[in-house]
Structure 1
Amino acid sequence: MLPREITEGDYPAIQALHRSVGWPERSMAGWRWLHANPARLETGAPAGWVVDGPDGTPAAHAGNLIQRFRLGDRSLYGASGFSIIVSPAARGSSRSLLKAFASQPGVFARYTFNANTKSQPLYVRHGMKAWPEQTHALKLSWIVNPVPLALGRLLRRLYDVAPRIVSGLGEQLMNDRLGRAVRLALPPGVGPLTDFSDTSPYARFWERLATEGRLLADRSPEVQRWRLQDPDLSIPPLALTFERDGAVVGYAMALMAKSNILEPPVLEIIDLETLEGHADAAPALLTALRRAARAMGAAKLRMQTVTPFMLQRLGDLAGAARREGGWGHCHVRFQEDAPDPALWSPTPYDGDYAVCLRPVPLGEAVRRGHAVRAAGSVTSKA
């Protein structure tokens, strides 16, 4: 069974595959949005691959998220694999899917930062190594409310005993703060980020960040606007900046998610970047996100991709975090002529988290976009 490139006609079958394993399902509009990824369109890369079952419909799937990168004046491209699903009708096809992903041309790296315990050995077989060496198995979290976390653990244990009964309970551990407009008490220097226009203070921040000589996933206003147009977001991302002398010197973005019906909501850090010479920016932004997590109804704040560079920037706040993970969820295969890996310090933004996290399930009124109030200001609506 050989993989073929995804077409738009495959989306309903891909939806069914996600449904069969309990993974987040995109709407048809959401799949079309993902298909219109500007970086993918520039390169002509596949949006992913499927393997057809005996009935001729897709029975296995591997997504392919292309990202543009900057290194000084150079533009490069990387590929993150996501949502690898193989049904019994296509058993054994994970190897051919991963081969198609890991051998695709035109990218400096093929990677995943979101491998689970079962899938991680598959990546090694296709030439991908656990990376970064020191932190490939590390996730950081900061507890906001321990009660729903304890209840979630209890529900998971009950599910192991009586899965049908527990599943029949429906969505658990919701609260009335989810999706509501809230006023955030932010640290000095931190404010809401509402303007992603090409002439905005954020645009100037990105221009300065891109000249620092690091290998960076494209955070240009153009790409950020595309990300914010995801039609399946139930709660708009929370975006914050840290300013000094009227200029943006750091920014963070976080997304409310709920991994399944038995888990409490979590505020997931998607991105956190600062300019050189501003050591207080990252701790201030993380402090603001911890405060926001409580106000927005999250049980904890989490960062699922961590590097030594990020640990250094967070300082004592990293030391105060819980260590999660414990398996190699970050795997990379670099092209022979790739830039020095030491120049790359990825955040969850570089991976698939923004497109694979399960949105908090809310009503259509919230799905159209509620604002998050911060010290009298309002964030933009996605």
Structure 2
Amino acid sequence: MTLREIAEADYPAIQALHRSVGWPERSLAGWRWLHANPARLDIGAPAGWIVDGPDGEPAGHVGNLIQRFRLGERRLHGATGFNIIVSAAVKGSSRAMLKTFIRQPDVFARYTFNANSRSQPLYVRHGMQAWPEQTHALKLSWIVAPLPLAISRLWRRLYDAAPGMVGSRERLMNDRLGRVARPALPPGVRVLTDFSDASPYAAFWTALAAEPRLLADRSPEIQRWRLQDPDLSQPPLILSFERDGAMVAYAIAMMAKSNILEPPVLEIIDLEALANHADVIPVLMTALRDAARAMGAAKLRLQAVSPQVLHRLGDFARTARREGGWGHCHAQFSPNAPDPALWSPTPYDGDYAVCLRPVPLEGVHAGVRAPAPGAHTASKA
């Protein structure tokens, strides 16, 4: 068994590993896009690691998503481990992969905000702590279409009882998916498309980065790189809020579908506001909820929550369904790291933007063949 850094020649084997456990398969262009991550190139970090099996072929994988951070004038980097896959040929190698991930230099924190219930004990055993302490096990959702959710539960029960009867056709699709939705937006809310260096968004980022907080880099450069992901089936929905002629808050959400038996969900990737304009967060949430319905989603979901975000949500926090229930957020901080209390992460800080399964829009009305949902119980994180 050999543990080594990922090379471009490994991409087809990595695709096959993802296929074997039912995870979304990135295209070769998608893996090259991830490899070109500007933050990773800053510090020359590996894009991830491979474990070769007895036959010399890749049989295990862990991705390494590097993000830039800002704390005033200080620039830092953090590392998110994602898509740990261990085949039977290299059973037990997850320990070596996680150890290598955690020991990597030049990052103030190593973390995951997307651990599943089966994998989360691995992180604890490797010195990562459940964090944020108050919200590490919390996911929030808001139902906009109850019927598809009920039908999905029935499909899941059928699959559990007789997997062969389900087939591989995509279920719970609808005619609104993939179409340009034009929901009525609340006053002050706009669809955001301009991420140029002289845009209102750039001014917003400058003001946000000047606050005394530890923030994942949301610069126009990084946003442009994210939007170039070749595996997106449709662009994310990005909304801004303007007050007195200036942008003071924004939100990113993307449509996703976990597997063939789950309904589409509008996943909130980011939700940020300047400190003295936090009151506009519920307005953006109202716009996102209305957009979820117009875009064909069954619910709106926020999969990583901090205490600050919970407070800013206001009544939306009180009306949300609580999902999760296990420690899906874990972190380990370097001895010289900033005070973790300065960091209020959203899903943007984690791997959700690169790991969510896009809604398969090709053949949306004819039904799309896809891996069965049972693969999600495989040994992966």
Whether TM-score is above 0.5 comes out as yes
- Pairing of 1:225-374 with structure 2 (within 5 A): 225-363=224-362
- CA distance in 1 between counterparts of 2:20 and 2:226 reads 27
Deviation at 1:226, TM superposition (A): 0.2
How many Å apart are 1:2 and its aligned residue?
A: 3.7
**Displacement after TM superposition at 1:364 (Å):** 8.5
Match in the other structure for 1:147? 147
Q: Deviations over 1:106-133 (max 9, x none)?
A: 0000000000011000001111000011
Contact 2:269 2:347 in 1 (8 A): yes
How many positions carry a matched residue from both structures? 365
Alignment match, 1:79: 79
CA offsets per residue over residues 178-217 of structure 1, 9 Å max, x none?
0001211111111110100000000000000000110000
DSSP 3-state at the match of 1:142: strand
The residue type paired with residue 281 of structure 2 is A
Query: Are 2:2 and 2:53, in contact at CA under 8 Å, matched by a contact in 1?
Result: no
The residue correspondences of 1:52-131 to structure 2 (distance < 5 A) are 52-131=52-131
Q: What residue identity is the alignment partner of 2:316?
A: L
Find the counterpart in structure 2 of residue 134 from structure 1.
134
Give the aligned partner of residue 380 of structure 1: none
CA distance in 2, matches of 1:292, 1:50: 40
Q: Which amino acid aligns with 1:249?
A: V
Measured in 2, the distance between the counterparts of 1:99 and 1:183 equals 47
Q: Distance in 1 between matches of 2:278 and 2:68?
A: 27
Name the SS for the 2:312 alignment partner. Answer: helix
SS in structure 2 at match of 1:345: coil
| SS of equivalent residue, structure 1 residue 64 | strand
Residue 276 of structure 1, CA deviation: 1.1
Q: Does 1:217 align with 2:227?
A: no
Are residue 19 (structure 1) and residue 19 (structure 2) matched? yes
Partners of 2:197 and 2:363 lie apart in 1 by 30
Distance 1:172 1:276 in 2: 42
- How much has 1:281 moved relative to structure 2? 1.3
Q: Give 1:54 deviation, angstroms.
A: 1.2
TM-score calculated relative to the size of structure 2: 0.95
Secondary structure of 1:62's aligned partner? strand
Structure 2, unaligned stretches of length 5 or more? 365-381
Which residue is 1:368 aligned to?
A: none
Q: How far has the Cα of 1:3 moved from its partner?
A: 1.4
How far, CA to CA, are the matches of 1:110 and 1:44 in structure 2?
Answer: 16
- Give the CA RMSD over aligned residues: 1.2
Report SS of the residue matched to 1:154.
helix
How far, CA to CA, are the matches of 2:65 and 2:362 in structure 1?
28
- 1:53, 1:364 → 2: CA distance? 37
Instruction: Tell me what 2:373 maps to.
Output: none
Q: How does 1:42-61 map to 2 (within 5 A)?
A: 42-61=42-61
Letter of the aligned partner of 2:56 in structure 1?
Answer: G
Alignment partner of 1:292: what SS? Answer: helix
Corresponding residue SS for 2:332:
strand
Tell me how far apart the structure 2 counterparts of residues 207 and 141 of structure 1 sit (CA, whole Å).
31
8 A contact 2:2–2:51 mirrored in 1: yes
Q: Partner residue of 1:40?
A: 40
Q: CA deviation at 1:169?
A: 4.7
Task: Please report how far the alpha carbon of residue 97 of structure 1 lies from its aligned counterpart in structure 2 after TM superposition.
Answer: 0.4
1:3, 1:100 within 8 Å by CA — same for their partners in 2? no
Question: Which amino acid is 1:40 matched to?
Answer: R
**C-alpha contact 2:136 2:330 (8 A) present in aligned 1:** yes
Comparing 272-281 and 14-23, the one that deviates more: 272-281
CA distance in 2, matches of 1:175, 1:102: 42
Aligned sequence identity (%): 77
| Paired residue type of 2:112 | T
Residue 175 in structure 1 maps to residue 174 in structure 2: yes
